[in-house]
Homo-oligomer: A and B are copies of this chain.
């Protein structure tokens, strides 16, 4: 056994004097990974297996007028209270893959491949994380869309504009479908963002998907165990879901709130993308009162990954308590 500096240092007496860092031999620097883990997470709801598959994040500044009815100082105070940085707002995107045992169901599709390029990989991660989670897009049986905003529908297409889930039935809320496909609504929409949304939806659903969609109604199962629930305001046909199997139950809220900090803690604050902000707020308070009272787990599309948690009342708002990550399932 070679007598090394390490052996000499094992005696307690030698410790105090040891210049721990100086005497170490230089080793080759290990390269930093500089890449996050593939962001997917699985859990069971009864017999159903859910995989949360992150689409990444997007960061806004206050110049984006993210919140229309709160002052900059109020928003910064709420961010600081949540230990979040001032002057910016980060939101997350979390489509789901639901394996019912009989059907492989995707719920919402993320920002899509163009956003991936534009954001330098911060958003539009869904397709990559889907593959990392072991799913083949060709094996998806159904794609269920909650509403027709870009971060939910743009992942329906690949970079070359063809269907990203070529063998899937695409299910859309009937009311949402009617709104965005209505030429009168389109002609009356304000220029800018709303006109852009109409054009984007026509491009996806009309030009690319040739209107091959199945509209669905609220109050009915759209897939085994997945009940569609009306939660309008954010959009005219905005839909949430109750996913249940056996004694397991999760409320899949879609965009009832955006990031719970600050939109659950301040349910009266209106985000610029709530199309009818007053109705959206009423829906938000109604749903959050319900999930808090029933202690129902909530899966939030814009919550920080993996986006599963419980809701409790806190003052005039609500606190979302993330479910602990289970290293097994």
Contact = CB atoms under 8 A, between A and B. Distances in A.
20 contacts: A6-B214, A7-B211, A9-B215, A10-B215, A15-B174, A15-B215, A20-B220, A20-B222, A27-B103, A29-B101, A29-B103, A30-B103, A32-B99, A33-B42, A33-B99, A57-B326, A82-B321, A90-B324, A121-B328, A322-B322
Interface stretch (A63-71, A266-274, A302-310): A302-310
Nearest to A24: B169
Interface string A58-85: 0000000000000000000000001110
Interface centre among A51, A92, A125, A327 (most CB of B within 10 A): A327
Contacts of A215: 9-10, 12, 15
Contacts of A321: 82-83
Contacts of A104: 30
Contacts of A286: none
A213 interface: yes
Interface in A181-230: 210-217, 220-224
A104 B216 CA distance: 54
A101 B34 CA distance: 12
Given A29-B101, A211-B7, A83 B295 contact: yes
A202 to B, nearest CB: 14
Nearest to A104: B30
A329 B36 contact: yes
A235 B27 CA distance: 33
A328 B36 contact: yes
Contact of A92 (B7, B56, B121, B324): B324
A323 interface: yes
A212 B3 CA distance: 10
B41 A36 contact: yes
Contacts of A246: none
Contact of A326 (B36, B178, B214, B323): B36
Contacts of A134: 33
Nearest to A297: B83
B34 A327 contact: no
A159 B265 CA distance: 49
A258 B181 CA distance: 55
A36 B327 contact: yes
Contacts of A4: 212
Given A42-B37, A327-B57, A102 B27 contact: yes
B121 A39 contact: no
A325 B305 contact: yes
B27 A35 contact: no
Nearest to A170: B6
A42 B34 CA distance: 8
B21 A224 contact: yes
A20 B178 contact: no
